[in-house]
Structure 1
């Protein structure tokens, strides 16, 4: 039976996936904390909602991007903080994944709603 924390992560994953499918930078940025740290697919650290928006506005305009989350794990840190880890597979051109990464989010309650406070992706392949 899913826990409240699983529901929190599942809700954000669903919203994030739908908004990524439209490459809607404003809608994606709204899912993040005003103090967010964001490491995406490039080495730049983006900060806050404006940084998140800049990252997504800088992506190529794929025709029909989609993302699939698997191996999702969640852990409550405290009543207002949740850790989430998963594998995110991005389908950017066609039916085969173009990119799969490890993704972690720190999800925090902010102004009565759950927001992504920290976003980090890294390679599935060992680096060492």
Structure 2
């Protein structure tokens, strides 16, 4: 059974995926808090809606970008805070090898709406072998 928290997260993920497919930087930035912290696929640290928009504006203009979120886990950390972890599989061109990353978000209620306040992706390839 899907919880209200899962519904909030799946709604944000659906809007995120739709905006990514259009490479809509403003649409993506609108999903983030004005005080967002953002680590994407490059080493630069971005802040706030303007930083998030700058990140997405800087991406290549791929012909067929898409993303699929899988293995998503959610936890209501407080009444206005949701913790999210999962896998994001990005396909940017037909026939190209997909980019698969671990993704974490912290989502908060801001001005009555749910916004991503922390975004971090990292490699699925182990950095330390045990």
Q: Please give the TM-score of this superposition, normalised by the length of structure 2.
A: 0.96
SS at match of 1:19: helix
The question of whether the paired residues in 2 share the 8 Å contact of 1:84 and 1:106 is answered with yes
| Residues 36 and 48 in structure 1, CA contact (< 8 A), matched pair in contact too | yes
| Aligned equivalent of 1:57 | 57
Equivalences, count: 128
Question: 2: CA distance between counterparts of 1:124 and 1:88?
Answer: 10
- Aligned-residue offset at 1:98: 2.0
C-alpha contact 1:90 1:97 (8 A) present in aligned 2: no
Q: How does 1:1-128 map to 2 (within 5 A)?
A: 1-95=1-95, 97-128=97-128
Q: Secondary structure at the match of 1:6?
A: helix
Shift of 1:97: 4.7
Q: CA RMSD in A?
A: 0.9
User: Which stretches in structure 1 are left out of the alignment for 5+ residues?
Assistant: none
